Amino acid sequence: IVMTQSPDSLDVSLGERATINCKSSQSLLYSSNNKNFLAWYQQKPGQPPKLLIYWASTRDSGVPDRFSGSGSGTNFTLTISSLQAEDVAVYYCQQYYSSPMYTFGRGTKLGIK
Amino acid sequence: EVQMVQSGAEVKMPGSTVTISCKVSGYTFTDYHLHWVQQAPGKGLEWLGLVDPADGRTKYAEKFQGRVTMSADKSRDTGSMELRTLRSEDAAVYYCATESTTPGVFDLWGQGTMVAVSS
CB contact A50 to B (< 8 Å)? yes
Q: pLDDT tens-digit profile of B18-37?
A: 999 999 999 999 999 999 99
State the SS3 of chain A. CCEEEECCEEEECCCCCEEEEEEECCCCEECCCCEECEEEEEECCCCCCEEEEECCCEECCCCCCCEEEEEECCEEEEEECCCCHHHCEEEEEEECCCCCCCEECCCEEEEEC
Q: How near does any CA of chain B get to the CA of A110, in Å?
A: 14
Which segments in chain B show pLDDT lower than 50?
A: none
Supply the pLDDT for residue B43.
Answer: 86
- Whole-number Å distance between alpha carbons of B62 and B49: 9
Q: Which among A55, A103, A105 has the least Cβ separation from residue B47?
A: A103
Q: Which residues on chain A are in Cβ contact (under 8 Å) with B109? A: 48-50
Supply the pLDDT for residue A111.
Answer: 97
Number of H helices, E strands in chain B: 0, 11
Q: How many CA atoms lie within 13 A of A62 on its CB side?
A: 3
Q: pLDDT tens-digit profile of A47-99?
A: 999 999 999 999 999 999 999 999 999 999 999 999 999 999 999 999 999 98
- Whole-number Å distance between alpha carbons of A41 and A48: 10
Supply the pLDDT for residue B70.
Answer: 98
φ, ψ of residue B88 in degrees (nearest 5)? -60, -35
- Whole-number Å distance between alpha carbons of A94 and A105: 6
Closest CA to B80 of B69, B66, B90: B69
